Amino acid sequence: MCIMFESSIEQVTMTKNDARLRKKLEDEREHLTKLLAHHIVKSHPNVGLGNHMADDASRAFDQAREVTLFRQTKNTLRDVENALAKLDSGEGYGVCERCGQPIDFARLKAIPWARYCLSCQRKLDSGH
Ligand SMILES: [Zn+2]
């Protein structure tokens, strides 16, 4: 007998009832919302102040990096809100959107807004 064994159903139930995950999601939503508000302020810098070539080049680089960060932050916020909506509806949270298998609890603790199980995420990341 192994007391560490948990069936998939039990894991999903446990995941849904874990208040720490919800708290983490809510904290993350607040954090990301603030980050985005900050980005929006920063993305309208005073134009025309610098006319030095190097300044312009590094500014263009900074802006490109900002845009990437902004996009990633927005995507993560969307996933966080998506996860909270699933928790609220009581359906689908902690289940991989691709294969329908429960997402490993350790993974959810690290990334509570994970949409895919680790093996699907790896496949998606590698472009398959
Ligand atoms: Zn999967």
Domain ranges of the chain: 8-43+52-125
Statement: the pTM of the whole predicted model exceeds 0.85: no
Provide the residues around ligand 1 (an ion) whose CB is within 5 A: 96, 98-99, 117, 120
- 44-97 per-position pLDDT tens digit: 555 444 556 667 788 888 888 888 989 999 999 999 999 999 999 988 999 999
In the chain, the percentage of residues whose pLDDT exceeds 70 is 74
C-alpha 34 – ligand 1 centre gap (Å): 31
Architecture of domain 8-43+52-125: Up-down Bundle (1.20)
Average pLDDT, integer, range 95-120:
95
- The confidence band for 1, taking pLDDT boundaries of 50, 70 and 90, is very low
Higher pLDDT, 121 or 2: 121
Considering only CA atoms, which of 90, 121, 66 is closest in space to residue 16?
Answer: 90
C-alpha 128 – ligand 1 centre gap (Å): 13
C-alpha 97 – ligand 1 centre gap (Å): 7
